Amino acid sequence: MWEVVYITSNSEIANKIREELEKVGILAKVKSISQEGKEGYFEIIVPETDVNEAHNIIIEKGF
C-alpha cells in the first residue's frame, strides 16, 4: 500500500522531495490531487514500509 507523507501546492517542491527520497532509496511518487490551471495540490506517496524513514528525510531536508 502507498501512504501520503507530504502535501504541497507547489509542484516543484513535490518533485524535489521525491528526488531527495529517491536519493536514499525510497520509492516515491508525486500524485496530483486537484488542479486548476497551473495551480493545484500534490501528494508525495511512498510504500507504507518507508513512511517513518520518509518523514525523517523530509524533516532533515527542511521541507
Q: Could you state, in order of their start, the residue ranges of all structural domains in the chain?
A: 2-61
pLDDT in tens, 30-61: 998 876 655 689 999 999 999 999 999 999 99
The reported pLDDT for the residue numbered 33 is 87
For residue 22, how far is the Cα from the chain centroid?
10
Q: What's the pLDDT at 2?
A: 96
Instruction: Please give, one letter per residue, the 3-state secondary structure of the chain.
Output: CEEEEEEECCHHHHHHHHHHHHHCCCCCEEEEEEEECCEEEEEEEEEHHHHHHHHHHHHHCCC
Q: 2-61, which class in CATH? A: alpha beta
